Amino acid sequence: MQDDPNECCGLLFGVGDEADEIHRMSNVNRKPISRYTMQSGELVAAQEMVKETGREFVAIYHSHTFTQGYPSKTDISNAVKVASVSTRHVIVSLVEKTRPVIRAFSINGDAEVTELVVETDGQPYRASD
């Protein structure tokens, strides 16, 4: 929400399906209000950090500041390009600024989108919580 109205982006680090660290990235897209592009130097540094610590990229995250948290055509196209890094994507919708909605998706190399359950502290996340 710090970048609102621009989209924020970053990586979730952890092991397996469990993320335990948020790694914010700079959005360097020329239209950050509706798109995101992670800064390449920061991505290289994040890859080194993951290697050095024996951790994994659990997911890629970004926000939708004016739309619902579902992958757009651009999101799906970009996800296909980075499927070797992560097929999991978390989208935070800020349509209702006081009630962000978090959703997660698996987007594979064939552009198939499957919604995933997001759990926080072992409990499924619900927008109404």
- Which structural domain range is residue 53 located in? 9-124
Is there a domain that residue 129 lies in?
Answer: no
In eight-state DSSP terms, residue 7 is P
**Residue % of the chain over a pLDDT of 70:** 93
Is there a domain that residue 52 lies in?
Answer: yes
What whole-number distance in Å separates Cα of residue 100 and Cα of residue 16? 25
Is there a domain that residue 1 lies in?
Answer: no
**Residue % of the chain over a pLDDT of 90:** 75
Is there a domain that residue 86 lies in?
Answer: yes
Q: How many domains does the chain have?
A: 1
Label residue 2 by pLDDT band (50, 70, 90): confident
3-state secondary structure of 107: strand
Over residues 14-43, mean pLDDT: 93
Instruction: Please report, for the domain that includes residue 51, its CATH number.
Output: 3.40.140.10
Is there a domain that residue 106 lies in?
Answer: yes
Who wins on pLDDT, 76 or 118?
A: 76
Provide the mean pLDDT of the chain: 89
Is there a domain that residue 113 lies in?
Answer: yes
pLDDT given for residue 125 in this prediction? 54
